[in-house]
Amino acid sequence: MEVKPSFKQTVIGVMPESWGVVLLDTVAKRGSGHTPDKKHPEYWNGSIKWVSLQDSAALDNLYIEDSAATITPAGIANSSAVLHPAGTVVLSRDAGVGKSAIMKEEMAVSQHFMAWQCGSKLDNHFLYYWLQARKSEFERIANGSTIKTIGLPYFRTLCIQLPELLEQRAIATALSDIDALLAAQDKLIAKKRDIKQAAMQQLLTGKQRLPGFAGRWEVKTIEELEKVGIIKLSRGKVISKRDIENTPGDYRIYSSSVKNDGLFGCYGEHMFDEEMITWSVDGGGHFFHRPKHKFSVTNVCGFMRVDKSRLGYRFLGQCQEFCVSEVTVKFHGIFKLNP
């Protein structure tokens, strides 16, 4: 690979010539932790915050300042757990592998975590973002049949790119600013979702009517609508990853995964060329598709055809989304809406 001027190729990738490559252990003190014996209640529910796998959801948000469990000084004294100072960078090496955070205050950790106290040549915020950028690598190298984990020997040989400290801090600040922007956007999106939910509560129950509409509403179940031919419910067909690999094509296939809007892959055949409503029938996530392209769904998806001359399918889809807490699995796994 051609390297640009003022850059160099190293064992961990291309980087500016002015940057160095060092063992992480030479610029940060590496540690871990332990779980005090749970047979001793005097080791638990103390004043020392103890980061464990229960705190996975709190990671990847730059800082961690609380923990699900706490331990006592006796728990520290009678185990291999140690207190790590505020500013320590922690990384999960087991379940939730690759998740990281910076301790806001003094804490202990379980044996499932690595912990680094940065020396004078390494900024802890830079290290946090450096670990974040390598999350996919950590996930790739983790191994194990039940719980994926990264062994300690890997971290003993872990190397890091090392710019000057001033540049490290500038990089960390720029990335932190982006995080703050994303957090603000997330709050705005959450607020908009709340507004939408409130509007659905009012409009889809008839508590609030749109201008020009005053007629009486009827209440019908999905089953009743199916009996009179307004809708038709069914489920998709068995399509495996092997099928997709052996019969590649341009037609999209949807399955029960909510990732990528349920997209399972592309296939050489299709079931539908009209707008449909589809959803998971396995009791998991739900999603709705109204694509304007030819597509299919797997057998773990239900689909709904609507007589659009008698019922607006967009309205029906919104009703189903609003009433998702009322959805039950009946009739061999096909979703029906309760009244």
Greater model confidence, 143 or 89: 89
Q: Which of 45-49, 105-109, 303-307 has the lowest mean pLDDT?
A: 303-307
193 has pLDDT over 80: yes
Rounded CA gap, 64 and 237, in Å? 46
CATH class held by domain 222-337: alpha beta
Decide if 7-171 and 222-337 have a common fold.
Answer: yes
Both tokens of 213, joined, read 């509409």
Digit-coded pLDDT (tens) for 76-133: 999 999 999 999 999 999 878 999 999 999 999 999 999 999 999 999 999 999 999 9
DSSP label at residue 298: B
Size of the chain in residues: 339
Where are the domains positioned within the chain?
7-171, 222-337
320 has pLDDT over 80: no
Both tokens of 124, joined, read 């802890």
Could you say which of 3.90.220.20, 3.90.25.10, 2.170.120.30, 3.50.50.60 is the CATH number of the domain covering 7-171? 3.90.220.20
Rounded CA gap, 286 and 306, in Å? 18
**3-class secondary structure, 247:** coil
Q: Which of 35-44, 167-176, 257-266 has the lowest mean pLDDT?
A: 257-266
pLDDT of residue 92: 95
% of the chain surpassing 70 pLDDT: 86
Helix or strand (DSSP H, E) at 244? helix 241-246
**3-class secondary structure, 124:** helix
Rounded CA gap, 64 and 129, in Å? 14
CA distances in angstroms from 190 to 185, 250, 320, listed in the order given = 9, 35, 20
| 248 contacts: CB under 8 Å, gap ≥ 6 | 266, 267, 268
% of the chain surpassing 90 pLDDT: 51
Q: Are the CB atoms for 154 and 141 separated by under 8 Å?
A: yes
Rounded CA gap, 90 and 325, in Å? 38
Classify residue 17 by burial, with Cβ atoms within 10 Å: 0-12, 13-18, 19+.
exposed
188 has pLDDT over 50: yes
